[in-house]
Amino acid sequence: MRRAALCALVGLALAFPAASWAHATLIRTSPSFQQRLQRSPRFVQLRFDQSVKAFPNAITVYTAKGHVVSGTVRPAKDPRVVTTPLQPLARGAYTVRWRVVSADSHVVSGVFTFGVRMRAPPATAAFGASGPTTREHIVRWLYFLALALVGGGLGFRLLILRGPLPAEVERRFYQVVGAGAIGAIEIGILAFLLRAEDALQLPFGNFLYGDLSPIATLRFGRAFVVMTLGFALVCALLFLAWLTEKRILLWSAFLLSIGLASGLSLSGHSAVDSGSSWLSELADWVHLAAASLWVGGLVQLAFVIWPLAPELRRTAFLR
């Protein structure tokens, strides 16, 4: 019964993404995402895959200081196209924020940037985006805890407690590590949504139909996709290891978990700060992996070995 419940929980985690709705999708922009232009464009144009309704202020273009340089939206012959004129633009970075109503009455919105004679910032650094918030920092720490539970827990089991364990201890081990793997998926999704919420400047509950493609193409977005799919594979490996009791599956899950921890390093400050190099990213990953092993091992010692297997305490401490 417990195994069936855990299987159902893993299935829910892997099937978390909600079903899609038939709302309008942005398929092309002019200028394009983060495009660098040599001269000022005369207009901003959006093309969708279906008809949309655009209000006069459906597209707003801002300078880096927040000045509006766009006019009111022009009527178009093609109901799938929305266009707004621009003032002559000086050299600088510009943010485009748009909001239209699709045929199914859902509000679709998004943001992207472009530059005139200079490089455009990513969408997460667009005008109006405040950068990482307190909630994002909290979620990041929770994500690290999930990494520690799965990566550190597996390392503790494979490197410290190498022999067979009593059934109750083994069951608790899988519960803790499984919670970490599922938590890494769910908390990772929450972290991505919070970053998108800040970039789109929409309340968390109102950007279900937002265009997240500018964020998904950033290093942060690519790391999110890889880590989410990777921890889904870790869940599968843990489940198979639990069923078959094959140690090689635990090693595979452990190495994959430690490798996936590099996603935080590749998308964090060590990767985007000026002057950063692959050495700083490698050092950050090694530090993160070591901290995960230490914290995850302490959790296993405190919540698995200490209450359930007192006779193994000495072995764990000596190793």
- Residue-wise pLDDT for 238-284, tens only, equals 999 999 989 999 999 999 999 998 887 776 554 444 455 667 778 88
* The Cα angle at residue 189 between residues 24 and 252, in degrees rounded to 5: 125
Task: Kindly tell me if the per-residue pLDDT of 202 is higher than 90.
Answer: no
Confidence class of residue 76 from pLDDT cuts 50, 70 and 90?
confident
With contact defined as beta carbons under 8 Å apart, do 249 and 174 qualify? no
Which tens digit of pLDDT belongs to each residue from 86-143? 999 999 999 999 988 887 777 788 889 999 999 988 877 777 665 566 777 788 899 9
- Which architecture does CATH list for 26-125? Sandwich (2.60)
User: Per DSSP, what are the bridge partners of residue 70?
Assistant: 86
Domain ranges of the chain: 26-125, 130-318
Task: Kindly tell me if the per-residue pLDDT of 35 is higher than 90.
Answer: yes
Confidence class of residue 19 from pLDDT cuts 50, 70 and 90?
very low
Helices (H) and strands (E) in the chain, counts: 12, 8
Q: How far apart are CA 213 and CA 182, in angstroms?
A: 25
Residue spans of alpha helices (H) in the chain: 2-14, 134-147, 153-155, 167-200, 213-216, 219-244, 247-260, 262-267, 269-272, 278-300, 306-308, 313-318
pTM beyond 0.75 = no
pLDDT at 173: 95
Pairing of strands 35-37, 43-48: unpaired
Out of 48-52, 57-61, 134-138, 276-280, least confident range: 276-280
Task: Kindly tell me if the per-residue pLDDT of 61 is higher than 70.
Answer: yes
pLDDT at 290: 92
pLDDT at 144: 92
SS3 82: strand
SS3 96: strand
- Comparing CA positions, the residue from 95, 83, 79 lying closest to residue 58 is 83
Out of 56-60, 73-77, 79-83, least confident range: 73-77
